[in-house]
């Protein structure tokens, strides 16, 4: 079956051209018998930019979503994006839509068993990277001595709040008299009412 193919081309600066990428990919497509349905090029745009800042890439993903293509052909993996996480997210999305990927420089074709194996390896490494980041965040939080949340009121202040409330003063009056937050006084009152009467 002839594969409906979109070429995705990208260069980072205005002084570069996508012509070499186009030429190489057209030769591969001709040999493989692919039908080129669209050539999409982001010229002078960094691969670190998001989808919304790369109009051709955005159009490519819309074609994927509408199932207008069977294969994306790209000159190199770094033309698609700069981070492994971004790449795996992209691969997962196109894979879910049944679209294959051909990367010329890396000789990866996900329509072949070896290409799919390489894709799965990339997914494993991306998952490992996410786990390592998560582990570093947890370790950093564990090392942190700063407690989250508000500091507890000193016991002497809590006793004054309890005496004021026991004397029949309102929460607002107690808070104002002792220069503490209304919420703090309210929490003390709730705790007092929860205590069993002796």
State the distance between the two ends of the chain, measured CA to CA, in whole angstroms: 86
Beta strand segments in 12-154, E: 35-43, 71-74, 100-103, 108-109
Alpha-carbon span 38 to 32, nearest angstrom: 16
Closest by CA position to 122, among listed 85, 158, 94: 85
| Token output for 9 | 């081309």
Name the residues annotated as catalytic. 12
3-state secondary structure of 53: helix
Alpha-carbon span 46 to 50, nearest angstrom: 9
Alpha-carbon span 57 to 9, nearest angstrom: 9
Q: How many residues does the chain have?
A: 198
| Token output for 19 | 């012509």
């Amino acid at each position: 079956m002839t594969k409906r193919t979109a070429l995705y081309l990208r260069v980072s600066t205005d002084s570069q051209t996508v012509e070499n990428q186009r030429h190489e990919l057209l030769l591969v497509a001709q040999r493989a018998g692919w039908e080129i349905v669209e050539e999409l090029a982001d010229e002078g745009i960094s691969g670190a930019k998001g989808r919304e800042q790369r109009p051709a890439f955005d159009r490519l993903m819309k074609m994927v979503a509408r199932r207008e293509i069977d294969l994306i052909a790209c000159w190199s993996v770094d033309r698609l994006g700069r981070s492994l996480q971004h790449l795996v997210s992209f691969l997962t999305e196109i894979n879910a839509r049944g679209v294959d990927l051909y990367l010329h420089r890396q000789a990866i074709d996900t329509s072949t068993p070896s290409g799919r194996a390489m894709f799965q390896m990339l997914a494993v490494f991306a998952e490992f990277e996410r786990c390592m980041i998560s582990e570093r965040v947890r370790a950093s939080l564990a090392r942190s001595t700063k407690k989250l949340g508000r500091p507890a009121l000193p016991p002497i202040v809590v006793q004054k709040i309890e005496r004021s409330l026991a004397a029949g003063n309102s929460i607002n009056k107690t808070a104002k008299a002792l220069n503490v937050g209304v919420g703090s006084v309210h929490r003390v009152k709730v705790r007092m009412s929860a205590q069993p009467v002796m």
